[in-house]
Chain A
Amino acid sequence: MSAARGGSPRRARRGGGAWHTRAMKLERIDIAPSPDRPRWTRLTGQVRYDSPQDGKDAEAYWYEFPDEFAGSLTTGGDPWLACLLPVAVEIGEPLVLSRPVDPQMLDFAGDRMAIWHWWNPRHAPVRIEADVEAGPRERGTRTVSLFSGGVDSFYTALAPRALPIDDLLVIHGAFDLMYARRAAFERVQAKLQAAADALGKVLIPSATNLLHTRLGTTDLAYMSQGSMMGSVPLALERRYARILIPSSVDLNWMDAWGTHPVTDAMLSTTGTIVAEDGLAARRIEKTTFVARSDVALSALRVCLFTGNESNCMRCEKCLRAAITLETMGVLERAAAFGTAKLDLRRVARMPLGDTDARHYYEELIVYCRERGRDDLSEAIARSLARARRHDPFRPLVRRLRKLPVIGAVARWLESRVHDPGVTWHLPQ
């Protein structure tokens, strides 16, 4: 393991009070060859909890990268502060880190917790105990953007820039690929490599088990998703002056969000800016911008649930993207959406139970109509209206679904009026 850098660290504690012996602790880190992937290097953090879950009071969190990037792996505590803080908050244990952390990131950690607490009073701030790096740090110079091959990713990668993006980082183990088999990930990687080559960027493949640790049991949707995603490039912080996280919401978003522009930016250190990108563009604008690129169309993958390079064309995300591409007349050129045409009946039978996604469809109704696709516009409107009518009954239906016989009947009755959709990872 390489030596810690910088001047002599100061011991710091955020939150006051006595030092804690009972706490969630990053006990040590290791950098070694990956046991699973030849010519890859693994950065591992051994974490111990004060309160076990499922009989486990300790587990390993890890990140892996090809050997050629291993020289940029950090031995500092920054990626660990990023990914472990939401776990500590979720389980209510003080966080003790055995590696020194960046002072600015430590300051921001308190701000992050304050915002999570604002969003959800159950997420009370916890004490953090860590050495603080006091000396000047080795500074990277490159810019990386997270890159799943989706609309947000491609929007960020394609936008003309005065300060270009150098690297595109794909994560085997992020939500869309958390159950992906190696072969499926390699197909995804190959497709994104072709796109990166065409765009003149370096593709950085990575892997992590974070979502299979206790981090995966935290409130990813409304607190911790950004912490997880941002921690992966922070493991390579010695390479990067700037980390871009393509924004999944726009400026109209006022609510809690797991990858929120304000909290994501608080992962920044004195050496590395972490920032969301594309917050000022609406989803339709991003999709139409991306769809003008043949490179993007050939690799576009929006689905969270296939775990591979394809799009299921059944889930809300796939259908939403397909509607926009169909309206633009380019759906057939989007290889990852398959050769099946967009079924109008399927559009009219979309479940749309997720209220967070409905504003996209309200925009699509207007967008489709303005482009002469009244058929799509009306189909979306029917789905939206039905979803709103069903809202008062959803809690009851969820309860009924858990019962034997009645649950099956409930699902059969639902299938009479709308498609079940896809809301979880498909079997691999």
Chain B
Amino acid sequence: MRLLRIDIDRSPDHPTATRLSGVVRYDDPRGGPAEETYWYDVPEAFASSISDSGNPWLAGLLPVAVALGEPLVLSRPVDPLLLDNAPEQMRVWQFWSPERKPVAIEADVLEATGWPGGASRTASFFSGGIDSFHTALVPRHVPVDDLLLVLGTFDLVSGHDASYERVRAKMQAAADAIGKTLVPVTTNQMKTRMAASDPKHLAGGSMLAAAALALERRYARVMISAAADPRGFDSATGHPYLTALRSTRRTRFVEEGFGCSRVAKTEAVARNGAALAALRVCFMSGDETNCGECVKCLRTMVALEALGVLGDAPFGRTSLPASRVARVTVADERERYYYEELPAFCRERGRADLAEAVERALARSRRHDRFRPFVRWLRRFPVVGPATHRLEALVQDKGRVDYRPPRE
């Protein structure tokens, strides 16, 4: 797998943006294109910070190479620290998934003497969610300067230009309100082979790192909100150790908020009116809205309801009845982890009704675990399939579990 060349030029899709693109060729196309172009569009105001090194490409393409089992050859020189840590990144992935074997990396190394300076700003990845706002708002002696909004990955994978623009505008307003500079980066990562490189368990952190390193000349530090906490981590949450391995001598990646529970972060964010008004936690909507139906939205809504501020947040409701909460389906283990924080949180705030509703939902979801494979199998059949849905609706809400195209 080779990075053949990179280009920095005006974006053909966004007139006021500059595009960093890289043409990549695969040894084995595996039914897909033998070559494809990965790109990152940044507003012209930040174009002078675009990197021409191999660093964003080593960061972003490494998981693709590992997923394909192809050596990675880069046509641009890379930072020795990033290259030094690349084998350890691959060992981490292999530790979690033994079938993911490390690959060889071939690249020239940037001058190794001295540690380059020049960059001075701190960025934080910013989706407008609870973690993002918490990282942006926590008082620091080294404050966050820029909020990096990556358009086209994860929560916005089902979006399009119009929805991206609405998200950008909303996040711009939030950034202005909290005194930060919004730096939107649009990318086609999820329309390349990266999308098939297990973004949830393998490529996700690398995708973000690549977007940040595309602007490495600007940043001494890039903060990522921790998805895990001291209760544990896995390949889905990542690990602060892995995040740090993406650092270069100039640009350090650090995780923030590891020692803070999700509900504690929610409470901290809820104290800021601008953050609350701009909050977007939904992975399903593909735009600036929260669907209010998916399990992620609902868990945030429960916490905000317990805090008495749900009406100030953009979930389309001013209150959340406990009866609705009791019908939530929490099938995902990771989501259960966060839901388990809620009962104590709600009780401490005088909402025993919500606490009991969450407990009922969790207990029922666990009871149903053993039947899920069977029910999924039944759902393939006509008549029987729809009947299972109707039966399920008698006891619980399925919620929103799929991406739907956002409105134009």
* A residues neighboring B (CB under 8 Å): 12, 103-104, 106-107, 111-115, 117-119, 132, 139, 141, 161-163, 241-242, 250-251, 254, 256, 261-262, 265, 268, 270, 273, 275-282
Max count, chain A CB within 10 A of own CB: residue among B80, B84, B114, B239: B84
The residues in B between 219 and 256 inclusive whose CB is less than 8 angstroms from any CB of A are 220-221, 229-233, 239-241, 244, 247, 249, 252, 254, 256
Q: In the complex, A32 Cα to B107 Cα: how many Å?
A: 47
Contact A254 B232 (CB under 8 A): yes
User: Among B91, B112, B240, B249, which residue has its beta carbon within 8 angstroms of that of A262?
Assistant: B240
Chain B residues with Cβ under 8 A from A114's Cβ? 259-260
Tell me the minimal C-beta distance from A174 to chain B in angstroms: 22
User: Among B84, B96, B221, B260, which residue has its beta carbon within 8 angstroms of that of A251?
Assistant: B96
Q: Is B92 part of the binding interface, using a Cβ–Cβ cutoff of 8 Å? A: yes
Q: Is B88 part of the binding interface, using a Cβ–Cβ cutoff of 8 Å? A: yes
Contact A241 B249 (CB under 8 A): yes
Chain B residues with Cβ under 8 A from A111's Cβ? 256-259
Chain B residues with Cβ under 8 A from A278's Cβ? 88
Contact A273 B252 (CB under 8 A): yes
Contact B240 A254 (CB under 8 A): no
The residues in B between 67 and 105 inclusive whose CB is less than 8 angstroms from any CB of A are 80-81, 83-84, 88, 91-92, 94-96
Contact A163 B80 (CB under 8 A): yes
Interface string of B131-148 (1 = CB under 8 A from A): 000000000111000000
Q: Given A106-B141, A280-B92 in contact, is the A163-B229 Cβ separation under 8 Å?
A: no
Q: Given A107-B141, A132-B141 in contact, is the A275-B231 Cβ separation under 8 Å?
A: no
Tell me the minimal C-beta distance from B344 to chain A in angstroms: 14
Tell me the minimal C-beta distance from B278 to chain A in angstroms: 24
**26 interchain pairs, CB-CB under 8 A:** A103-B141, A106-B141, A107-B141, A107-B142, A111-B257, A111-B259, A112-B259, A118-B259, A141-B113, A141-B115, A162-B80, A162-B83, A163-B80, A241-B115, A242-B81, A251-B95, A251-B239, A251-B241, A254-B233, A256-B230, A261-B240, A265-B244, A270-B220, A276-B241, A278-B88, A280-B92
The chain B residue sitting closest to A251, CB to CB, is B95
Tell me the minimal C-beta distance from B375 to chain A in angstroms: 32
Q: In the complex, A194 Cα to B49 Cα: how many Å?
A: 46
Top 9 nearest A-B pairs (CB, nearest first) are A114-B259, A103-B141, A280-B91, A115-B259, A162-B83, A163-B80, A163-B84, A162-B84, A280-B92
The chain A residue sitting closest to B233, CB to CB, is A254
Chain B residues with Cβ under 8 A from A139's Cβ? 115, 117
Tell me the minimal C-beta distance from B199 to chain A in angstroms: 20
Q: Is B307 part of the binding interface, using a Cβ–Cβ cutoff of 8 Å? A: no
Q: In the complex, A117 Cα to B229 Cα: how many Å?
A: 12
Tell me the minimal C-beta distance from A96 to chain B in angstroms: 17
How many A-B pairs fall under 8 Å by CB?
92
Max count, chain B CB within 10 A of own CB: residue among A106, A113, A118, A132: A118
Chain A residues with Cβ under 8 A from B113's Cβ? 141
User: Among A115, A141, A277, A281, which residue has its beta carbon within 8 angstroms of that of B230?
Assistant: A115
Chain B residues with Cβ under 8 A from A276's Cβ? 241
Chain B residues with Cβ under 8 A from A119's Cβ? 230
Q: In the complex, A118 Cα to B95 Cα: how many Å?
A: 26
Q: Given A262-B258, A265-B240, A265-B244 in contact, is the A162-B109 Cβ separation under 8 Å?
A: yes
Contact B84 A161 (CB under 8 A): yes
Max count, chain A CB within 10 A of own CB: residue among B92, B112, B142, B240: B142
Chain A residues with Cβ under 8 A from B140's Cβ? 103, 107
Q: In the complex, A106 Cα to B113 Cα: how many Å?
A: 29
Chain A residues with Cβ under 8 A from B95's Cβ? 250-251, 280, 282
Contact B94 A280 (CB under 8 A): yes
Q: In the complex, A162 Cα to B58 Cα: how many Å?
A: 14
Contact B141 A254 (CB under 8 A): no
Chain B residues with Cβ under 8 A from A104's Cβ? 141-142, 221
Chain A residues with Cβ under 8 A from B114's Cβ? 141
Contact B247 A273 (CB under 8 A): yes
Contact A265 B241 (CB under 8 A): yes
Tell me the minimal C-beta distance from A246 to chain B in angstroms: 13
Tell me the minimal C-beta distance from A67 to chain B in angstroms: 26
Q: In the complex, A282 Cα to B98 Cα: how many Å?
A: 13
Q: Given A254-B231, A280-B91 in contact, is the A261-B241 Cβ separation under 8 Å?
A: yes
User: Among B84, B233, B258, which residue has its beta carbon within 8 angstroms of that of A115?
Assistant: B258
Tell me the minimal C-beta distance from A278 to chain B in angstroms: 8
Contact A163 B259 (CB under 8 A): no
Contact A103 B142 (CB under 8 A): yes
Tell me the minimal C-beta distance from A74 to chain B in angstroms: 17
Tell me the minimal C-beta distance from B202 to chain A in angstroms: 14
Q: In the complex, A250 Cα to B91 Cα: how many Å?
A: 11
Given A162-B80, A251-B96, A262-B240, 10 other A-B residues pairs in contact with their CB atoms under 8 A: A104-B141, A107-B141, A161-B84, A162-B109, A250-B95, A254-B233, A256-B230, A261-B240, A262-B258, A268-B252
Contact B92 A279 (CB under 8 A): yes
Q: In the complex, A107 Cα to B92 Cα: how many Å?
A: 27
Q: In the complex, A118 Cα to B260 Cα: how many Å?
A: 8
Chain A residues with Cβ under 8 A from B252's Cβ? 268, 273
Chain B residues with Cβ under 8 A from A113's Cβ? 259
Tell me the minimal C-beta distance from A415 to chain B in angstroms: 39
Tell me the minimal C-beta distance from A52 to chain B in angstroms: 31
The chain B residue sitting closest to A119, CB to CB, is B230
Q: In the complex, A274 Cα to B140 Cα: how many Å?
A: 19
Tell me the minimal C-beta distance from B106 to chain A in angstroms: 12
The chain A residue sitting closest to B94, CB to CB, is A280
The chain A residue sitting closest to B241, CB to CB, is A261
Q: In the complex, A256 Cα to B229 Cα: how many Å?
A: 12
Tell me the minimal C-beta distance from A320 to chain B in angstroms: 20
Q: In the complex, A112 Cα to B252 Cα: how many Å?
A: 18
The residues in B between 349 and 406 inclusive whose CB is less than 8 angstroms from any CB of A are none
Max count, chain B CB within 10 A of own CB: residue among A12, A104, A139, A242: A104
The chain B residue sitting closest to A260, CB to CB, is B230
Chain B residues with Cβ under 8 A from A268's Cβ? 252, 254
Chain A residues with Cβ under 8 A from B230's Cβ? 115, 118-119, 256, 262
